[in-house]
Chains A and B, each alone.
Chain A
Amino acid sequence: MKKLRTKFFLLITSVFLISLLTGSEALSKEYLDGKLDVSGYLENFTSYRVTTNRRGHITNCRNTFYLEAGYKLLQNPNFSVELYTIVRNFYESAFDIDSHYNNASNRKDHNRIRTENGNDRLRELYADISSGPFQLRIGKQVATWGEADGFRMADIINPLDLTWHWTFEAWEDITIPIWMIRGWYKTPLPYDLSVEFIVIPNDFEPTRYAPEGTAWGPFPRQFWLNVKSSRPGNSSDNLEFGVRLRAEINGWDVTLYNFYTRNDDPIFTDNAAKLLKGILVGGEDYFDYKRYNVVGGTFNVYFDKIKSVIRGECGYNIDQKFNVSSTGGPPFGIRGQDVFSYMIGFDRPTMIPYLSRWNYYRSYFISMQMFQKYFIHPSRGLIRSPDMGKDDSQTIFTLIVETGFFHDAIVPNMLVAYNTSGWGFFLPSIKYKYGHHWRFILGADIVWGNSRNEGTGMFKDNDAVTFKVRYEF
């Protein structure tokens, strides 16, 4: 482990020095007559938890190396092949720095979040094969179908890694790429109608949660271990597939989709005896990742009268499996349940009186969204996911505001989310761009909730000041 760590840091240091020596204003590098382009960054992300308890203050000191490369293998007007890859590794040194934080969780669990694990270092690797109206993308990748920010509804193809900073990072940093085949066909039909399909033949990744005692570990350790041990292996049983139609109709960008998937979050198996046996003895799968079907659609449209883009999405989960319990504990039953959810929001660059004028007419990008989710005819004793609490419906509002000062050398940003059942979070940040390569981001996580079992109430003691420094090349 120590050797690996040394090698990793040697690599990072080498890249860093090379970047400094060859540092020029053009950040990314192009080689082989522009066929190969390479870019990346080195980053340190530190999070200081301000609440006083004996679980430690420094919850992140994550050093990341990120390298992205694209190679145009074959290019002619009728046929092209491009390769694309992202390699990422990190070392989480919070456990080494803060002994309280180190002791708050079981050390055996640290390796799971201390470095990028095994194949995950090869974050993405795929080939893009294009010919006329057809395109195939084969390999490990991320596919995004939704319109929403801050929360995901139609974006259910790739699971999330919630181990290191919950959902508070950019999606590109916390989605888990998976092996899949993605294809597009631009039809000759009116309205720019195109068809996209996705097939995930055997790869399955569940949502990743942090172990108990770490900052973002929501579940008891035994539960977490049981979930981990229930993860199905890669096999054709994991087959997931979906199709999406996209069109532009009179200025409205519209999509309709259907995705047949395995739930990224598990439920208890319905065999109570097995469950009890599993807890006591181990070696059994007491969780299962059940299948369900999602149909839905998205839209976005620009209205000149209000200078705003209105966007929305909805999804109808057909026969999504949930646990039911008459007592709230084992034994659990399983019921199929339909769930409907939608989001509607707007984006509007806005000139704010005095502020914009003072900032040389830089507009403020304002984005608001409303999410609602409903259980359709909920079963008695239905056990809901933590974000739903005890309710049969939930309503969330989000607000994003961003602008730039001094020619965008300073970029303040804020995201606030509020669930009507009382939980929410506020993520202000300010980014400073220094020169061609350096970026500094000072931020905060302000998290609240009425109940420790619901939504971000689980992390209400995690208010933190965060600092990110990044060298881009």
Chain B
Amino acid sequence: MRNKIKDMNGFNLLIRGTLFLSLFFVVCPPAWAVEMNWPTPCYQDKKLDEVSAWEKNWVGKNIDSSNVDEVKDFLPETLYDRIKNPDKWGAVSFTIIPYQEIKPTDGLINATKKHWGKPRVDDNEILHDWINGIPFPIPKTGTEVAWNFDCITHGDTELITNRAWLINGKRKSERFLGRVKLWRMYFSGRTDVEPIPEFPKNPKGYRRGLIFYFVDPRDMRGVRNLSVRYKDTNKEDSSWAFVPALRRVRRMSTAQRGDSVGGGDNTWDDTWGWDGHIKRNEYRLIKTQEVLMGRHSDKKLPPTKGNIDYSGIQRERINCYVVEFISKDPGYVYSKRICWIDPETWRMPFEDQYDQQGRLWKTTEFTAAPVQAKGGMVTTVFSSNTVDLQRVHSTPAIGYPQFIGDEIPQGYFTADYLVRLGH
């Protein structure tokens, strides 16, 4: 009899358990389903068909001031305005190419899925419980988009040589600004190249090290700037500079990050769109917007003398997040930025920067292309252009990756090593 009762209890439990699980899957399918589908392309199904149909009319076409009105909806207003007014900004054109999906590396996909749903952001824009990968694959807030932008490692290491110019649009003149070599390496949060997710020895808790080495001009030659970002997402970055004229390493103030880099239109924080600490801003997800951006545009595009913008960029249609970055520091050089962020590569193709009075001041465009790296195909920035809309002035730069994913000795990213490298 007792055994019978036991069997009955077991049966009831089985029934109840089945009912509960059925209810759970009915209530919670979206998260499960979304995870299974990630990474999702920018366009799929009907929307992809719609985009393909649009592309039939436009792919291969040259867009300039005469026909830019027809694609106005797919351009940030600042870019449209420059193409539309060649008398003021110089004649610029671009071509349209078809949308091509860019998939994350296998390492990034694995890391993102492994830690799915664990990272969270607090009210002070600080990220918690993140190890590696994209923390918020389906972001719902501006802060989550900003952290995705910050956390992707784009191949874990890279060495890039950048050359930049100063263009005076009023005088139609050009000055070579300089040449910079740039080493970037992630110590933690790595996804593509072993060790993943972190170097076994990382006693100071670095997340990322970044070195700028000025090769030209002569009066800045040998200046090395090291900045370090920490795993502790609440900890402010540290930076140092080796000054050859003094033959000494100087600690840098983060207040200098809002200053111009070597006299150019861009600031230290403007590198890659935003290279400051995420906690320094508040974020607002404004909308998504389809824009024509260059992300399969690896042509070497030196600036045309006196022209504010590059010509010849190949642009494709991408549905970007548009996020407002509002500085928490009232004394900061910009009051806010409006940033377009590509949901597949988490690169920032466009941003508009506003001055302290809230007036539109600058706009920056980054063009990128996928390249084969050690850990798979990653998207790297080949050119950038910061345009000062108030002064009709710009700082175009082109960069060539010398490697992505190769090992850089950890010891490079110390202030002590700056002294040892310095002459």
B251 lies within 8 A of chain A by Cβ? yes
B174, closest chain A residue (CB): A25
Q: Give B168-205 interface residues, CB cut-off 8 Å to A.
A: 175-176, 179, 203-204
Q: Which residues of A contact B245 (CB under 8 A)?
A: 170-172
B204, B215, B255, B393: which contacts A28 (Cβ < 8 A)? B215
B238 lies within 8 A of chain A by Cβ? yes
A151 lies within 8 A of chain B by Cβ? no
A171-B251 in contact given A25-B176, A361-B356, A404-B263 (Cβ < 8 Å): no
Min CB–CB distance B281 → chain A (angstroms): 15
Q: Give A430-465 interface residues, CB cut-off 8 Å to B.
A: 433, 435-436, 439
Q: Give A169-198 interface residues, CB cut-off 8 Å to B.
A: 170-172, 184, 186, 190, 192, 194
Q: Are B247 and A347 in contact (CB under 8 A)?
A: no
Q: Are B218 and A404 in contact (CB under 8 A)?
A: no
A172, A186, A408: which contacts B262 (Cβ < 8 A)? A408
A407-B393 in contact given A70-B423, A248-B415 (Cβ < 8 Å): yes
B406, closest chain A residue (CB): A77
B236 lies within 8 A of chain A by Cβ? yes
Measured CA separation A143–B175 after assembly (Å) = 35
Measured CA separation A124–B204 after assembly (Å) = 36
A70, A246, A304, A311: which contacts B254 (Cβ < 8 A)? A304
A39, A84, A253, A408: which contacts B251 (Cβ < 8 A)? A253
Further 12 A-B residue pairs, CB within 8 A, beyond A309-B252, A407-B393: A27-B176, A149-B246, A172-B244, A172-B247, A248-B414, A349-B256, A350-B255, A351-B331, A362-B260, A433-B263, A439-B219, A472-B217
Min CB–CB distance B316 → chain A (angstroms): 31
Min CB–CB distance A84 → chain B (angstroms): 5
B361, closest chain A residue (CB): A360
The size of the chain B interface, using a CB distance under 8 A, is: 54
A28-B423 in contact given A186-B414, A361-B356, A408-B263 (Cβ < 8 Å): no
Min CB–CB distance B167 → chain A (angstroms): 10
Q: Which residues of A contact B216 (CB under 8 A)?
A: 26-28
Q: Give A403-436 interface residues, CB cut-off 8 Å to B.
A: 404, 407-409, 433, 435-436
A28-B221 in contact given A170-B245, A190-B203, A360-B391 (Cβ < 8 Å): yes
Min CB–CB distance A39 → chain B (angstroms): 6
Q: Give A190-222 interface residues, CB cut-off 8 Å to B.
A: 190, 192, 194
B163 lies within 8 A of chain A by Cβ? yes
Measured CA separation A252–B365 after assembly (Å) = 37
Measured CA separation A304–B414 after assembly (Å) = 20
A81 lies within 8 A of chain B by Cβ? no
B370 lies within 8 A of chain A by Cβ? no
- Most B-side CB within 10 Å, residue of A184, A309, A404: A309
Measured CA separation A135–B414 after assembly (Å) = 14
Measured CA separation A84–B409 after assembly (Å) = 22
Q: Which residues of B contact A172 (CB under 8 A)?
A: 244-247
B420 lies within 8 A of chain A by Cβ? yes
14 of the cross-chain contacts (CB-CB < 8 Å) are: A27-B176, A144-B247, A144-B248, A171-B247, A184-B420, A248-B415, A301-B251, A349-B253, A362-B259, A407-B175, A407-B263, A408-B260, A408-B263, A436-B175
Measured CA separation A362–B176 after assembly (Å) = 20
A318 lies within 8 A of chain B by Cβ? no
Q: Give B404-420 interface residues, CB cut-off 8 Å to A.
A: 407, 409, 411, 414-417, 420
Q: Are B255 and A349 in contact (CB under 8 A)?
A: yes
The contact size tier of chain A is: 35 or more
A195, closest chain B residue (CB): B416
Q: Are B416 and A435 in contact (CB under 8 A)?
A: no
A5 lies within 8 A of chain B by Cβ? no
| Residues of A near any B CB (own CB < 8 A) | 25-28, 37, 39-41, 68, 70, 77, 84, 124, 130, 133, 135, 142-144, 146-147, 149, 170-172, 184, 186, 190, 192, 194, 246, 248, 251, 253, 300-302, 304, 307-309, 311, 347-351, 357, 360-363, 404, 407-409, 433, 435-436, 439, 472-473
B218, closest chain A residue (CB): A472
Q: Are A26 and B179 in contact (CB under 8 A)?
A: yes
B165, B221, B247, B252: which contacts A142 (Cβ < 8 A)? B247
A246-B416 in contact given A171-B247, A311-B251 (Cβ < 8 Å): yes
A39-B221 in contact given A25-B176, A28-B215, A146-B248 (Cβ < 8 Å): yes
Measured CA separation A84–B423 after assembly (Å) = 8
Q: Which residues of B contact A363 (CB under 8 A)?
A: 255-256, 258-259
Q: Which residues of A contact B255 (CB under 8 A)?
A: 307-308, 348-350, 363
Q: Are B420 and A171 in contact (CB under 8 A)?
A: no
Measured CA separation A70–B417 after assembly (Å) = 18
Min CB–CB distance A173 → chain B (angstroms): 8
Q: Are A347 and B355 in contact (CB under 8 A)?
A: no
B118 lies within 8 A of chain A by Cβ? no
Q: Which residues of A contact B166 (CB under 8 A)?
A: 407
Q: Which residues of A contact B250 (CB under 8 A)?
A: 300, 309, 347
Measured CA separation A147–B252 after assembly (Å) = 13
Q: Which residues of B contact A246 (CB under 8 A)?
A: 416
Q: Are A41 and B218 in contact (CB under 8 A)?
A: yes
Q: Are A407 and B264 in contact (CB under 8 A)?
A: yes
B333 lies within 8 A of chain A by Cβ? yes
Q: Give B211-246 interface residues, CB cut-off 8 Å to A.
A: 215-219, 221, 236, 238, 240, 244-246
Binary per-residue interface labels of chain B (370-382) against chain A in the complex, 1 for a CB within 8 Å, 0 otherwise: 0000000000000
A186-B416 in contact given A26-B163, A77-B407, A407-B393 (Cβ < 8 Å): yes
